[in-house]
Chain A
Amino acid sequence: MKKPLLIENGTLIDPSQNLNRGGRIMMVDGVFAAVDPSDGDIPQDCDVIDAGGCLVAPGLVDLGVELREPGFEEDETIHSGSHAALAGGYTSILAASSTDPVIDSHGAVEFVRQKATAARGARVYVVGCLSKGRSGKQMAELGLLSEAGAVAFSDAPRAAPSDALLKRALEYCRMLGRPIFDSPEVPELALGGVMHDGQVSLVLGLKGLPTEAEDLAVARDVRLAEATDGRLHVGPVSTMGAVDMFRRVKSRGVVVTASVCPHNLMLSDAAMRSYESRFKVHPPLRSPRHVATLCQAVKDKTIDAIQSGHMPRSREKMMNDLDQSPFGISSLETALATAATALVRTGTLDWIELIDRMSTRPAQIAGLDAGTLGIGRPADVTIIDPNAGWKVDPGQFRSTCISTPFAGMELIGRVRHTIVGGELRFSG
């Protein structure tokens, strides 16, 4: 039995209950037991965390993480990834199906779940393949994957390659109550691209990823969601065109959600001038106009959620020239601080809005029992020092991957404690 845990002296911040005030919260048997318990109601053998000066928020939820195991353990393992998540304040992460073998069977789902349980890091939820073998041709056994515990389906980071397959899957998934996640990109238009197609790529001589490759795919996705009334989440997105499309369809009442990565809210394509592979992300860092539009879209909820975009790759893979280096960075441990620096420090969002986009809303999109401090709900908590500035040192990462665009950069917002099911699993 876990000992009861009391967090006191912090500011309770919970978008699901519109809570933003000082107080204390008690956890018993893995769930929230009481807000502001009286001294007499606190058990004698209770553990206590002093959260003075900190925010006590529902644990962060990440809609898309590559854990790379099985098959690419040199990049990341379920153990290292789920502990990197804890260090970043995440209590729940959704693991992508881009492994080898891919996650398109009951056994593969079970493998990830068992490894995650043994790792005792963040909760790991499985995203099953959308297509069998991630081949893009035949629908995977979505019903059986769902029974095995997959909470969503996707072939990300690759877009669903077939319009017809995506449409059928959206229709089929209505009976499962599970969402489909799609990463929007028309491959033919993006072929060979390594960065945003714009003035900077023109000068650097690097092949560009044009915005229309994403815009056209988003247009397809939302149109199919509208036609099928299916549950579709699109992301991460990076363009003004995508934002415009979501704004228009949402105003018509179409239920479709979108997410963005924090690095796309903070950095522009100018970073690529250094030719360093740690800036080679997918979707790419866009021009400052796109960045400003994305930030505003997070503010007005056109973009629903912020996901870390954690795509770890080993150091040896990143030591090549830019064409050979894969897309990908380690971002679980910097996502909250990056988003806070880009959005809260600039006055675009307040903390309760940021927690909504990184915890409450992603939990709703994935259908998880998370993202709230509600009584009786799983006691997943992130305790954040909102004013702490810190310099990113990849040498301190829990992730195997140390490639980050933020190395050496000063960010605000430091995760002090991460609690999963009432158990303190990280302190930093």
Chain B
Amino acid sequence: MNVPDLTSFAERWDRRHLLDLESLSAEEITILLDVASRLKEATEGCRRKLSLLSGKTCANLFFENSTRTRNSFSLAAKRLGADTVEFGSSGSSTAKGETFADTAKTIEAMGVDWVVTRHGTPGTPNLLARELGCCVLNAGDGPHEHPTQGLLDLLTIRQHRGSLDGLTVALVGDIAHSRTARSNIWGLKRMGAHVIICGPPTLVSPRWQELGFEVAHHLDEILPRCDVLNLLRIQFERQHARPFPSVREYAALYAMNAVRMRQAKENILIMAPGPINRGVEITPEVADGPHSVILEQVTNGIAVRMSALYLLSAADDRYRSGNQASA
């Protein structure tokens, strides 16, 4: 297959940074997903390499542990012909007291085109977007957002259902500490899905209702209505105090298991952003069962990251050549 012509998509895209899904329009999300689909096809499910971005360099600036997202971004850049360079907090100058912004500026001075950043504090990609001249991609900022994870979830659902409009999607689990949840919430809403946020009240704020989302505390009550279940990991590492009495109790109330599958719609999609805690949010027979699309999500992750890198780069090229593009 030839390199796809993505010019018409690039012309309709004018952002140089991808910081969140909350601020994206339905049209922008659609462009990101359409380009991802084409790139996935062109790379034969992400096995083939293209040369769309050769000569460019992507810096992965990860200040929190990550294996899959970091590798996914690296592979995405390489599949488009770009080079990658890796930075982490343990060996970086932040460990010596340098500010995060100064570390990023130093890396930018080495001549990179994108900074892909993960950090434990919400808003750090916004800080970088203000301070740096290159494109910034948010690969997860604390519990705020993880836009490419949200996009790969949307892409996976769209591939199975054709459209997101009118679907009922439940996000179940640790919403309070989940960046994946926040990106899903806005992306799904923008694309016309009905979003249910489900979990114990200590992890699901009633304020989500004020923002127009359905809040539920009993999975069994909402399960029969759901087209998609996205099971979010309990993020013990982010919690100051345990928000439920025991893991055993949580699993009894919220784990998706074989018994609960019998209450679900026949064609329900089971998703999880990973890593999954088997037996806590999801039992093995469900995680590995026919309704699970967990591994497809991983494959789609590379496609949406290629899409984001490509589109931001196109906007950046226009920006640098003096044409209109948002800073």
Residues of A bordering B, CB below 8 Å: 191-192, 198-199, 202-206, 274-276, 316, 319-324
Contacts and interface: CB of A to CB of B under 8 A. Distances in A.
A206 B144 contact: yes
A320 B144 CA distance: 17
Given A192-B240, A274-B126, A320-B100, A205 B210 contact: no
A206 B207 contact: no
Interface string B105-146: 000000000000001111110110010000000000111110
B208 interface: yes
Shortest 5 CB-CB distances between A and B: which pairs?
A275-B123, A205-B144, A205-B143, A321-B121, A323-B121
10 contacts: A198-B207, A199-B210, A204-B122, A205-B142, A275-B126, A316-B99, A319-B101, A321-B121, A322-B123, A323-B121
Contacts of B211: 199, 202-203
A191 B121 CA distance: 15
Contacts of A274: 126
A302 B127 CA distance: 39
A320 B99 contact: yes
A199 B205 CA distance: 9
Contacts of A202: 205, 207-208, 211
Interface string B80-122: 0000000000000000000111100000000000000001111
Contact of A321 (B123, B179, B207): B123
Given A198-B207, A202-B208, A320-B99, 6 more contacts: A192-B240, A204-B122, A204-B144, A205-B122, A323-B121, A324-B121
Contacts of A206: 122-123, 142, 144
B126 to A, nearest CB: 4
B16 interface: no
Contacts of A320: 99-101
B164 to A, nearest CB: 21
A192 B102 CA distance: 24
Contacts of A203: 22, 182, 211
B245 to A, nearest CB: 20
Residue of A203, A205, A275 contacting most chain B CB atoms (<10 Å): A205
Contact of B123 (A192, A198, A204, A319): A204
Contacts of B142: 205-206, 323
Nearest to B22: A203
Contacts of A323: 120-121, 142
A203 B101 CA distance: 24
Contacts of A198: 207
A274 B99 CA distance: 19
A203 B205 CA distance: 11
A321 B182 contact: no
Interface in B202-249: 205, 207-208, 210-211, 240
Interface string B139-175: 0011111000000000000000000000000000000
Contacts of B141: 205
Q: Which residue, of A191, A192, A203, A274, has the highest number of chain B Cβ atoms within 10 A?
A: A203
Given A199-B211, A205-B143, A205-B145, A321 B119 contact: yes
B99 A319 contact: yes
Nearest to A320: B99
A319 B102 contact: yes
B232 to A, nearest CB: 14
Contacts of B22: 203
A206 B141 CA distance: 10
A324 B127 CA distance: 13
A63 B146 CA distance: 44
A202 B124 CA distance: 17
Contacts of B99: 316, 319-320
Contacts of B182: 203, 205
Contacts of B124: 275, 321-322
A70 B99 CA distance: 25
A274 B127 CA distance: 9
A198 B206 CA distance: 11
Contacts of B102: 319
A15 to B, nearest CB: 41
Nearest to A205: B144
B15 to A, nearest CB: 17
A374 to B, nearest CB: 50
Contacts of A276: 130
Contacts of B143: 205
Contacts of B130: 276
Contact of A205 (B101, B179, B208, B240): B179
Nearest to A324: B121
A324 B101 CA distance: 12
A204 B119 CA distance: 14
Contacts of A321: 100, 119, 121, 123-124, 127
A319 B128 CA distance: 11
A206 B176 CA distance: 10
Nearest to B181: A205
A206 B143 CA distance: 7
Nearest to B19: A275
A205 B102 CA distance: 24
A202 B207 CA distance: 8
B207 A275 contact: no
A313 B119 CA distance: 23
Contact of A275 (B127, B205, B208, B210): B127
